[in-house]
Amino acid sequence: MVTMITVEHLTKRYGDHTAVDDVSFACKSGQVTGFLGPNGAGKSTTMRIIAGLTPPTSGSATVDGFAYRDIPNPSTQVGVLLDASAQHAGRTGAEILRLSAMTMGVPRSRVDEMLEMVSLTPDEADRRVRNYSLGMRQRLGIANALIGDPHILILDEPANGLDPAGIHWMRTLLRDYANRGGTVLLSSHLLHEIEIIADEILVIGQGRIVAQGTKDELLATNGARVRSLDDTSLADALSRSGIHAQPADGGGFTTDATPEDVGRVAAATGIALIELRPGDGAQLEEMFLQLTQQTQREQPVPQGVQ
């Protein structure tokens, strides 16, 4: 896989407020990278810097090896949707796409292709955007991001305003796009959707990356859960073997060792076990809340900073 988005030691300050604090990560081709964080955590600011809309205080962000501003006709390389409501309210959806196609120099036939792809009917395409629902604006924004046939997508909260069928549609669209070799950086507070679609996950809190890795790594099961007929003796035996055991609700222990290692210790000391299983996997939502609990609405965020 080829690295398509590279963020290195990115920092952005607004006066005394640090919106993004020494953030580094990479997004690879053929993958969906999920960017998670509460409001004000730094997601949108980071994505705006990548898209060349906000200058960083320090650090760098490159797309396919270049700063966004240095890419010729960038919309044919990178599709961006940062705010579905930031579209000309007085134009129709079809007009917005026609203007984009003309600006990029792509065939006008792409307009009808994109409208069909995002399921905006001819009647809806001829309505003025001020009369669109948020979900319709999201669909139009995704169409606009894809009209130049880019190989990289940067989408900030694209599921906002979509109904369950729309979310399923978007998830299928982005999964197919990545499976064809595209690169997707997707921010969302809808943790379940990220858990379903993302290959790599970034969690940001107070402007810093607090967790990152593959979905399997972040959702991996933790240690072992064990109960015995003599928990006191079991605790002593585990301790002598260098295994840390934490008392668990309902009796027994959770450990940082594998079930196999715990079972060997119990067998060697003749302790009868009544429960031995892998530890509970850390669900993404639980992990997300734990890692960001100190960042949620604790302090005011300057207007326009997310």
Full 3-state SS string of the chain: CCEEEEEEEEEEEECCEEEEEEEEEEEECCCEEEEECCCCCCHHHHHHHHCCCCCCCEEEEEECCECHHHCCCHHHCEEEECCCCCCCCCCEHHHHHHHHHHHHCCCCHHHHHHHHHCCCCHHHHCCEHHHCCHHHHHHHHHHHHHCCCCCEEEEECCCCCCCHHHHHHHHHHHHHHHHCCCEEEEECCCHHHHHHHCCEEEEEECCEEEEEEEHHHHCCCCCEEEEECCHHHHHHHHHHCCCCEEECCCCCEEECCCHHHHHHHHHHHCCCEEEEEECCCCCHHHHHHHHHCCCCCCCCCCCCCC
User: Which segment of 17-31, 47-61, 135-149, 197-211 scores lowest on mean pLDDT?
Assistant: 197-211
In a domain, 247, yes or no: yes
Whether residues 62 and 18 fall in one domain: yes
What is the tally of structural domains in the chain?
Answer: 2
The yes-or-no verdict on residue 93 having pLDDT over 60 is yes
Whether residues 7 and 66 fall in one domain: yes
In a domain, 266, yes or no: yes
Whether residues 157 and 214 fall in one domain: yes
Confidence of residue 132 (pLDDT cuts 50, 70, 90): very high
Q: Using alpha carbons, list the distances in angstroms from residue 235 to 83, 151, 204, 264, 267.
A: 55, 55, 37, 14, 14
In a domain, 32, yes or no: yes
The yes-or-no verdict on residue 237 having pLDDT over 50 is yes
- Per cent of the chain over pLDDT 90 is 68
Contact indicator for 220, 284 with CB cutoff of 8 Å: no
Whether residues 154 and 266 fall in one domain: no
User: In DSSP terms, which residues pair with 278 in a beta bridge?
Assistant: 224
The yes-or-no verdict on residue 219 having pLDDT over 90 is no
With 0-12 CB in 10 A as exposed, 13-18 as middle and 19+ as buried, what is 91? Answer: middle
What's the whole-model pTM score? Answer: 0.78
Q: For residue 57, what is the domain's CATH number? A: 3.40.50.300
Please state the rounded mean pLDDT for residues 65-83: 95
In angstroms, rounded to a whole number, what is the distance separating the alpha carbons of residues 304 and 289? 23
Whether residues 73 and 170 fall in one domain: yes
Most confident segment among 56-60, 247-251, 290-294: 56-60
Contact indicator for 32, 175 with CB cutoff of 8 Å: yes
Whether residues 238 and 188 fall in one domain: no
Whether residues 238 and 271 fall in one domain: yes
Q: For residue 273, what is the domain's CATH number? A: 3.30.56
Entry field: residues in the chain: 306
Whether residues 25 and 72 fall in one domain: yes
In a domain, 139, yes or no: no
Q: Which domain holds residue 73?
A: 3-77+150-218+286-292
Whether residues 271 and 154 fall in one domain: no
Whether residues 24 and 41 fall in one domain: yes
Q: How wide is the angle at C-alpha 293 spanned by C-alphas 292 and 297, nearest 5°?
A: 95
Q: What token pair was written down for 118?
A: 């995002």
The yes-or-no verdict on residue 299 having pLDDT over 70 is no
In a domain, 128, yes or no: no
Whether residues 211 and 162 fall in one domain: yes
The yes-or-no verdict on residue 188 having pLDDT over 90 is no
In a domain, 67, yes or no: yes
Name the more confident of 247 and 182.
182
Q: How wide is the angle at C-alpha 28 spanned by C-alphas 26 and 31, nearest 5°?
A: 120
In a domain, 145, yes or no: no
User: In DSSP terms, which residues pair with 80 in a beta bridge?
Assistant: 154
With 0-12 CB in 10 A as exposed, 13-18 as middle and 19+ as buried, what is 15? Answer: exposed
In a domain, 12, yes or no: yes
Whether residues 190 and 230 fall in one domain: no
Confidence of residue 280 (pLDDT cuts 50, 70, 90): low
